[in-house]
Chain A
Amino acid sequence: MNGAATTINKETTLSDAVGRIEPGATVMVGGFMTVGTPENLVDELVRQGQARLRVVCNDAGTPGRGVGKLVRSGQIASFVTSHIGLNPEMGQAMTDGRVDVELVPQGTLAERIRSAGAGLGGFLTPTGVGTVVQEGKQVLSIDGRDYLLELPLRGHVALVRAQVADRMGNLRFYRSARNFNPLIAMACDYVIAQVDRIVDTGEIDPDSVMLPGILVDALVIATGEVNNG
Chain B
Amino acid sequence: MAEERSRIARRVAMEFRDGQIVNLGIGMPTMAANFVPDDVTIVLQSENGFVGMGPSPEPGTEDPDLINAGNQYVTVLPGAAFFDSALSFAIIRGGHVDVTVLGALEVDELGNIASYIIPGKLVAGMGGAMDLCTGARRVIIAITHCDKRGNPKIRRRCTLPLTAVEEADLIVTDKAVIERTAEGLILREVATDSSVDEVVALTEATLIVPAEVGRFD
Contact = CB atoms under 8 A, between A and B. Distances in A.
Nearest to B46: A176
A108 B50 CA distance: 18
A136 to B, nearest CB: 15
A131 B66 contact: no
B35 interface: no
A32 B125 contact: no
A106 B67 contact: no
Interface stretch (B130-138, B147-155, B178-186): B130-138
Interface in A91-143: 91, 94-95, 101, 103, 105-111, 113-114, 125-133
A59 B125 contact: yes
A174 to B, nearest CB: 5
A179 interface: yes
B128 A82 contact: yes
Contact of A183 (B76, B82, B86): B86
A125 B164 CA distance: 13
A175 B63 contact: yes
Nearest to A146: B165
B67 A176 contact: yes
A83 B26 CA distance: 13
Contacts of B30: none
B215 interface: no
Interface in B69-100: 69, 71, 76, 82-86, 88-89, 92-93
Given A32-B48, A82-B125, A106-B89, A131 B65 contact: no
A227 B64 CA distance: 7
Interface of A: 32-33, 35-36, 58-59, 81-86, 91, 94-95, 101, 103, 105-111, 113-114, 125-133, 173-183, 225, 227, 229
Shortest 3 CB-CB contacts between residues of A and residues of B: A107-B89, A85-B124, A107-B131
